[in-house]
Structure 1
Amino acid sequence: MESCGLQAQKFSHKLTHMDTLSDEMMIPRSFCSKYAHDLHEDMELKLRNGYVLPVKFDHSRGVFKGLLCFFKHFKLNGGELLVFEYFGRYNINVYILGSNLSEIKYPDFKFNMPESPPRLVTLGDGGWRFVWFNSGRQTTINEIKLPFDFQQKYANMLPQEFGLNLRTGYRLPVHFDKITGIMMGISTFYSDFGFKGGEVLVFEYYGQSDMNVYVLGLHSCEIDYPMITHLSQCGNPLKPKIRDGGWKFVHFINNLDQLQNEISVPPKFVENCGGNISKFLHFILSNGKSFEGRFCVKSNKLSGLIGMCKLLGLDSLNSFHVLLFTYDGHFSFNIAAFDEKYVEVIFTGTPVSSVGYCVVWNIKLLI
């Protein structure tokens, strides 16, 4: 796997069953807008066990071609999360997280690499990751239960006392119960960072005593970390480099009113966009289908959502509980819909469903 000490650009893609039957995969628009000109027509996807897959990149459509054999080789059926790291060359590192939120055990085979055998994946080679969602159902939380598969592999390697390390140098001491697989002592972390619900925590374990932790906010990218250290620490925090993956806001649907065509945009969101939201827009659903819309500067409203009703065969959007809007900074909003349990509704069709630059799960839990 390539690193060369450079900072990787990351994006992720949550696979559905329909994805695994296709030979193509759409790249996030936000990633393409920044880095498509650096990508070659002939690219290689590299996994940690030495597996290399030659793929074609279609610049005009922003898609990788040639992935069907990859899905078959690794027996991917949907529910997995693919995490991509790009260092500015013709190679892209790929990590596979299973539906259990933990990185899979990579099979010992190779592809298109007769000169070298597959490598045994070790903790020292990029760490091992799992994710946790803060549903926001409790105002504070002091425990996190590790995914079962992660426990099976590494619970015996973790000491009873270790630390969770952030990019700022913040280190949270936690207690680990090997029998239950529960980390305790999270409440300080919860309060220090002001979690309100909807956050995603990404854990990386390298086989040492501590874990790295990354915090992703509602916008599915790393947050602007507060410049603090844990109360047990001395010294000053470090300023991390944050790359944003687009601006997002949520709209909670009031069932007393029929939502058919327009919604109000939060003033803070408009401010974050510098007041430069395009008047003429494309709305894109998670299945790749799109329709036209508009933004009215005077009223701060998005209109044209009747197109979503027509595409889904609905009279209104009141069957959903929350809509999540993601603006690419140009002419497009991606729309994700959530049910009453705050789980994303996956629409039928060939899905795009790709998010962000960091390890995230595309079926999100919100507040």
Structure 2
Amino acid sequence: MLEFQKNLYSFLLLISPRLSKKPHFTSSSSLSETTSLCLVIVSMNSSGLIFEKFLKFLTIKDIDSDEIQVPKKILGRYGDRLPERFFFNFRNGYELPVKFTKDTGIIKGMQTLYQDFDLTAGEMLLFEYNGMTDLNVYVIGKDKREIDYPHLVHSTQKRVPRVVSMKNGGIRFINFVTDQDPLADEFEPPLSFEISCPLVPAYQSFVFSNGKEFEARYDAQRRRFRGLSAFCRDVGIDDFSGFNLLLFQYELYGNVTISAFDDAFVEVMFVGGPLSVGSISTNPSIHGSFSITVQPFHMSKYCYGVDISNEFYHQSVKWKKKDYIKVYSAEKAWNLQVRHRKNPRLYRTTIHDGWIEFRDDLGLEVGDVCVFESATGSYDRFSVRVVKKEN
């Protein structure tokens, strides 16, 4: 079945146009010319538990249906976290109300999306839990690159669509793993990606699902990225032949986040964290850190902020006024929203959204100390260890 899907995908590439007819992503250079006519651009940041992303390959049967099926792996691990009714959120501001049945894992309400976005068989939907209740959804086109989203919102929304920009959220594309190209070190992005991003920096950073970062390069003459082999050596594999495909999220200034998917189109989360000891000779060293001692008011049902001591100003000053950090512990990871005031006389940094899920998932108790440590070169990815209170 998997081979059939790959063959079908290849066939659809041949018969589909290379470029979308919809408006292109707004580049950073043209952004300043359009901001006076549109809303402030925002990205779909998430907070709370990070769970595996999953992809839905759309078939003709799917397009004619109002339902999609949540993968069994996702349903078994996280089905209880999804409410009966929630939203699919898209980068252009479009919000699709859907109904979820936990017993069957079926989500209903898809037809409106297919019609509004003019989706067809061969395209893919990428689902990402936002850490709270909803799912962020991205559309991968037949050219293997994230589509140029239509400038519209759902009929029930009374707002202006967002402008989708490379500056906020980057752009995604996929590469299938094949026997001919097991993605051992190099890969070539889709032609449509290169048209959207004509100036790719030579120096790149590859970040994987466990938060580990590796230096990489982009060869403009050969139109190829290289650097996957460092991660492969670190986790003890020769290449990515044991996976179905890789998803790349390219952002400006040379940051590429890479996710590997299995044959069920579910992301494989690599264990460990940014400071995990791998099999290569040069392992990350601690660059920055901060700690939090759990207080009684941190355990309340509604916690409106957990202060980070000004003792760790050297770490928190690197964050924006409202920012997000990723925290890794063993096989779990969380997005935490951080906020601070930069007025020196009133300087205060707090963790906001995501703390309650983080606290509950780790089973924290009053008196426990959470130690957050980042690797050299990273300011927003941390390994966390918990020092339990002595009885």
Tell me whether the two structures share a fold, i.e. TM-score over 0.5.
yes
Query: How much does 1:181 deviate?
Result: 2.1
The match for 1:205 is 250
Which of residues 132, 147, 159 in structure 1 aligns to 2:201?
159
The match for 1:227 is 277
Query: How much does 1:59 deviate?
Result: 3.6
Q: Number of residue pairs matched?
A: 243
Q: Measured at CA, do residues 138 and 177 of structure 1 come closer, stay the same or move farther in structure 2, by a change above 3 Å?
A: closer
Q: Measured at CA, do residues 231 and 148 of structure 1 come closer, stay the same or move farther in structure 2, by a change above 3 Å?
A: farther
The match for 1:67 is 110
1:174 lines up with 2:216 in the alignment:
yes
Q: Measured at CA, do residues 138 and 180 of structure 1 come closer, stay the same or move farther in structure 2, by a change above 3 Å?
A: closer
Query: How much does 1:143 deviate?
Result: 2.4
* Amino acid corresponding to residue 99 of structure 1 in structure 2: K
The match for 2:47 is 5
1:104 lines up with 2:172 in the alignment:
no
The match for 1:305 is none
The match for 2:66 is 23
SS of aligned partner of 1:50:
coil
The match for 2:97 is 54
The match for 1:242 is 331
Query: How much does 1:15 deviate?
Result: 1.0
> Could you state the TM-score of these two structures normalised by the residue count of structure 1?
0.57
- For structure 1, which segment, 170-179 or 76-85, has the greater mean C-alpha deviation from structure 2 after superposition? 170-179
Q: Measured at CA, do residues 208 and 87 of structure 1 come closer, stay the same or move farther in structure 2, by a change above 3 Å?
A: same
Q: Kindly indicate whether the alpha-carbon contact (under 8 Å) linking 1:216 and 1:223 is maintained by their aligned counterparts in 2.
A: no
Q: Measured at CA, do residues 229 and 123 of structure 1 come closer, stay the same or move farther in structure 2, by a change above 3 Å?
A: farther
Q: Kindly indicate whether the alpha-carbon contact (under 8 Å) linking 1:133 and 1:198 is maintained by their aligned counterparts in 2.
A: no
Distance 2:44 2:128 in 1: 9
Q: Measured at CA, do residues 122 and 72 of structure 1 come closer, stay the same or move farther in structure 2, by a change above 3 Å?
A: same
Gaps of 5+ in 1: 245-367
The match for 1:214 is 259
1:184 lines up with 2:273 in the alignment:
no
Distance 1:146 1:209 in 2: 14
SS of aligned partner of 2:248:
strand
Q: Give % identity.
A: 26
The match for 1:279 is none
Query: How much does 1:242 deviate?
Result: 3.3
Query: How much does 1:140 deviate?
Result: 8.0
Gaps of 5+ in 2: 1-42, 288-326, 334-391
1:123 lines up with 2:166 in the alignment:
yes
SS of aligned partner of 1:99:
coil
Distance 1:88 1:172 in 2: 26
Q: Measured at CA, do residues 142 and 44 of structure 1 come closer, stay the same or move farther in structure 2, by a change above 3 Å?
A: closer
Query: How much does 1:188 deviate?
Result: 4.0
Query: How much does 1:21 deviate?
Result: 0.8
Q: Kindly indicate whether the alpha-carbon contact (under 8 Å) linking 1:155 and 1:178 is maintained by their aligned counterparts in 2.
A: no
SS of aligned partner of 2:163:
coil
Distance 2:328 2:109 in 1: 40
Q: Kindly indicate whether the alpha-carbon contact (under 8 Å) linking 1:198 and 1:218 is maintained by their aligned counterparts in 2.
A: no
Counterparts of 1:330-349 in structure 2, within 5 Å, are none
Counterparts of 1:261-300 in structure 2, within 5 Å, are none
The match for 1:350 is none
The match for 2:366 is none
> Could you state the TM-score of these two structures normalised by the residue count of structure 2?
0.54
Which deviations, in whole Å up to 9, do the C-alpha atoms of 1:225-275 show, x marking residues without a partner? 67328666651699655369xxxxxxxxxxxxxxxxxxxxxxxxxxxxxxx
Which of residues 42, 49, 53 in structure 1 aligns to 2:85?
42
Q: Kindly indicate whether the alpha-carbon contact (under 8 Å) linking 1:135 and 1:198 is maintained by their aligned counterparts in 2.
A: no
Query: How much does 1:109 deviate?
Result: 1.0
Q: Kindly indicate whether the alpha-carbon contact (under 8 Å) linking 1:161 and 1:176 is maintained by their aligned counterparts in 2.
A: yes
SS of aligned partner of 2:137:
strand
Query: How much does 1:141 deviate?
Result: 4.2
* Amino acid corresponding to residue 203 of structure 1 in structure 2: F
SS of aligned partner of 1:37:
helix
- For structure 1, which segment, 63-72 or 51-60, has the greater mean C-alpha deviation from structure 2 after superposition? 51-60
Distance 2:136 2:189 in 1: 25
SS of aligned partner of 2:86:
strand
Q: Which structure has greater helix proportion?
A: 2
Q: Measured at CA, do residues 169 and 13 of structure 1 come closer, stay the same or move farther in structure 2, by a change above 3 Å?
A: closer
Q: Kindly indicate whether the alpha-carbon contact (under 8 Å) linking 1:215 and 1:223 is maintained by their aligned counterparts in 2.
A: no
SS of aligned partner of 1:129:
strand
The match for 1:82 is 125
Q: Measured at CA, do residues 143 and 166 of structure 1 come closer, stay the same or move farther in structure 2, by a change above 3 Å?
A: same
SS of aligned partner of 1:18:
helix
Q: Kindly indicate whether the alpha-carbon contact (under 8 Å) linking 1:169 and 1:229 is maintained by their aligned counterparts in 2.
A: no
Q: Measured at CA, do residues 177 and 7 of structure 1 come closer, stay the same or move farther in structure 2, by a change above 3 Å?
A: same
Q: Kindly indicate whether the alpha-carbon contact (under 8 Å) linking 2:175 and 2:247 is maintained by their aligned counterparts in 1.
A: yes
Q: Measured at CA, do residues 17 and 227 of structure 1 come closer, stay the same or move farther in structure 2, by a change above 3 Å?
A: farther
Query: How much does 1:2 deviate?
Result: 5.3
* Amino acid corresponding to residue 183 of structure 1 in structure 2: F
